[in-house]
Structure 1
Amino acid sequence: MGIDQQLPKDPGVAAEILAALKTKDEDETICRYPTCQNGRQVTTGSGRPSAYCDNPDHTPVANHRARAALKTTATGGTSTPASKQEVLVSGGVAPVESLRASVVGRITQLQSDMERYVSTLMELSDPDLSAAQIQATLDRAETRIAEAQQNASTERSLRLAADMARTAAQEEARAEREAADQAIDRMEEAEARSQRQMEEATQHIANIQAERDATIEQMRSELEQARENIGTQAKEAIALAQAAMVAAQEQTRQAESRAYDAEAAARAQTSTAEQLVREAHETVKRERTEIDRLRSELDFARTQVEQANVRAEAERTAARETLERERAEVDRLRSELSTTRARADHFATFSDELRTQLLQIQTQTSQRENSAS
């Protein structure tokens, strides 16, 4: 039975069969032929187990052709039927058969002519003439029979040569079929091995992406936390500075009635406090600018990571180099985060110093008020 008679012609059905072949090939108990659900033939001895059922048409060569035909049907193309792909065993069989038919036809024609000649001669009135004609006819018949026998002998020789050629061609075809079966088995093993390697590479890339996403998420969380801490510390420092400035102004107004020197000192202290507040504002502004820069660098790093991911999908062989670049970028961002944390610590120290100076100003003002009173 030909392959085309067993396979569907509908592209959708062919695509469904192709999609189910992966699961079907993993089952080592079912025949590998695409449309066959029979169990595999049980083999005895130490040879390789059979991958096909007991149907003689289900062989590695037929399996390969059937799958190729399914792929062609699924993509909307046409495939050459397997029956048309069979090679003729011998090119000399047809001429031999034609020669044999020609010899048999000539012998049959001679027999018909002999009967007609005998019937005609029997009707003749001259016995001698009839005998002569019969003898001449017999001579011609014997000559033709000899020629026919010679042709038959030639036909037998040609047929024997054709049989020998057909046997040799069958042996050669059998050897080629076995070689093709082995090649298809090796190809199927290579496809399975390639599929496993592809799945392992996909899993490895997924692990890399998960690690990258976790690292980016952790860095973003740390940056957000650092920004919130810096903002909180800046607000506290500004509030303290503003409170100190208000207190200094109030104390200055109260000291105006006491002494000009105390007023001048209070104004100087107020100017110092304002300068400290301005410096605090500038420091906060610089820190915010730094945070914005870090955020831009983080966005840029995320863009680079996404581009690296796209390149990794297209060029799996460069996945390891991409991972190293991403890790280097993560180390750089971590270094910058450490720098930002150091700056935040420095700013906290500066805020403590500012708070100490404000306390000193308040103490000095109180002392001057006590001295003036």
Structure 2
Amino acid sequence: MNDMSSTPVRKIIHVDMDAFYASVEQRDNPELRGKPVAVGYAAVRGVVAAASYEARIYGVHSAMPSVTARRKCPELIFVPPRFEVYRSVSQQIREIFAEYTSLIEPLSLDEAYLDVTDNLKGMEIATEIASEIRSKIKQLTGLNASAGISYNKFLAKMASDLNKPNGQAVITPKNGPAFVEQLPVKKFHGVGPATAEKMHRLGIETGADLKQQSIELLTGHFGKSGPYFYGIARGIDNRQVKPDRVRKSIGAEDTFSQDIHSYEPAREGLQSLIEKVWGYCEANEIGAKTVTLKVKYADFTQITRSKTVPAALPGIADLEEVVSLLLAPIFPPKKGIRLLGVSLSSLERRAALTQPQLRLAL
């Protein structure tokens, strides 16, 4: 692992819109302003796609089953998602980013990394760039954005959460390693609940604990992620900001706190994963033809089920339909389900999809 002295100091900004979907709905409907709003459906199988800050006070958050959200906040107002509107606003924001740099890596419709080391305006101070960008976003869209500024992607992402909402924070090369050391590993970006639990079993609770581990131990327990964990424990992350990157696949998975035995909670658990992978495709204007469902059982055996459609999926409803088709036949399961995952492959740029997209006959 390289030390800091071998890596040129970069200026990375992570911009993250505040409660993006919910804020767009409150912007467009004055009656929703100042009220607890959930983007999603109040149906029994519904899942919250986004929650306003007024709703978050009650403990409502994205990926929460709608019935749970309603129980926590009886006054919660559900609003159906309008992805075409969110996509349009996201494009407006992207055009602001492009005034400053061509090195833009979208993560979803509402967040992106920017490398402003050598920026188009010749500005030397990255915090000033972030402030300008946030101000322009507010002027153009009426929405608030938060930003994190640092010398690598991991710390920029962590910094963007420090002064939310409508704020920004900087983590300097001098302060980076100490910041990581005091941070609980469960709050690390890239460390999910299952990985955090595995780290806890190894006695790793904080960044300082992680820093004590050898790269061999981390690789042995966490595979390809081992070197990454070894680096970020020292405030090192050499990943580049990669614009226009087309991955071979994009996926998300989640380990449940209790094993699942019935269809309804499994389908609810998959909704946030569906929205995550679809959001990446939307933000990067990517189409996908192959959907894969991953199922890991309580005894750690796992299966995958895939379906490839003739043309790229035109909308999130089509993805939801394919996932449901793949999920239904595995019920009732002989064993409890501890993990579910959704991945998309056969990815291609939507610019290459010249044929008109009709709703797929699945």
Given the two structures, how large is their TM-score scaled by the length of structure 1?
0.17
Bigger CA radius of gyration: 1
Which structure shows the higher helix fraction? 1
Higher RCO (CA-CA < 8 Å; seq separation 6+): 2
Structure 2-normalised TM-score?
Answer: 0.17
